[in-house]
Structure 1
């Protein structure tokens, strides 16, 4: 059973945990992480979810993601998810999330890294991932249009591609 730490609206951890699926009070939130890997051609590594995976079955998604479990920092959760889903060992300990999106039930931290990876060397987590590939922003938009990709806002996908080399939204 997966257990989550809970946070208040200011992202301060409260002294409470829940098991995935249990209801949270309206003033309780949890932490989710996403990792997006880009290659030197500017393509994003995307994964296709297993047909038996609950939630968004068979759809393509960004590189990896998942909920932080109890005791995890955001960085530890990002490292764990990336290793579990794709077999990539990467330390996020000296990184901050590129950005965070607040959603109704929590905080969604996004980590963006650039690394050329040989897809044949990945170890896909059978319970979650059936396939991986590199995709351009335009290819992802087409998959979204075809309802073959999780329905992210196109502006979020654009922002991921645009912000992969810098923190924040101000260019100097």
Structure 2
């Protein structure tokens, strides 16, 4: 397993993303059990217990050796700080296609564009986080792909990155804390990872 601490990207201008309100609140899509949009909610309010079902995405990128790119979330994040998780995850802005949101967020967080990325299904889960008291009620769109560029993680989002094969990942999961949703989304994405890298053992 190789690890790479996050380093800032110089010269990045502060902008207000199109899904952010002028008052600084980030909005996301509420959905029903079929994944149909039924409204919007402010991000934090959707994660307060008991949680409100909303649209999300999770990305799993492999390198040329079939190793999965992991990130350790920045210590300053209000939700699940300092824990390891998949390559990238987040929420589309209201009306934003999940694929576009996933590609955008990979660039914003990791400073690199996926060399390839494709849909790998969806998964719905309900995971309370005992540390923060927040709740993940998500209809999650999964994406798998490849990465071959030089990473330049945003230190406000990512404290560290690592590439791990299945054996290395199993050891890391046993030694370090991971996000409450990680195992669920990884298991759901495994068929897509196996298609992408059959010899890697996912």
- With the shorter chain as reference, the TM-score category is 0.7 to 0.9
Q: Which runs of 5+ in 1 are unaligned?
A: 168-172
Looking at structure 2, the residues matched to 31 and 23 of structure 1 have their Cα atoms a distance apart, in angstroms, of 10
In the TM superposition, residue 45 of structure 1 has moved relative to its aligned partner by 0.8
Question: Structure 2 matches for 1:112-151, cutoff 5 A?
Answer: 112-117=144-149, 121-151=150-180
One of 59, 62, 77 as aligned partner of 2:101: 77
- Cα displacement (A) at 1:128: 1.0
Q: How does 1:35-54 map to 2 (within 5 A)?
A: 35-54=59-78
Could you tell me how far apart the structure 2 residues matched to 1:158 and 1:19 are? 29
Larger RCO of the pair (alpha carbons < 8 Å, separation 6+): 2
* 1:107 paired to 2:136: no
Size of the aligned set, in residue pairs, is: 160
- Give the deviation of 1:33 after TM superposition: 0.6
Q: Please provide the CA RMSD for this pair.
A: 2.9
Whether the 8 Å CA contact 1:4–1:30 is kept in 2: the answer is yes
Aligned partners of 1:84 and 1:126: how far apart in 2?
11
Task: Name the TM-score, length of structure 2 as normaliser.
Answer: 0.68
Q: Is the 8 A contact 2:58 2:185 kept in 1?
A: no
Pairwise CA distance, 1:149: 2.8
TM-score relative to the length of structure 1: 0.78
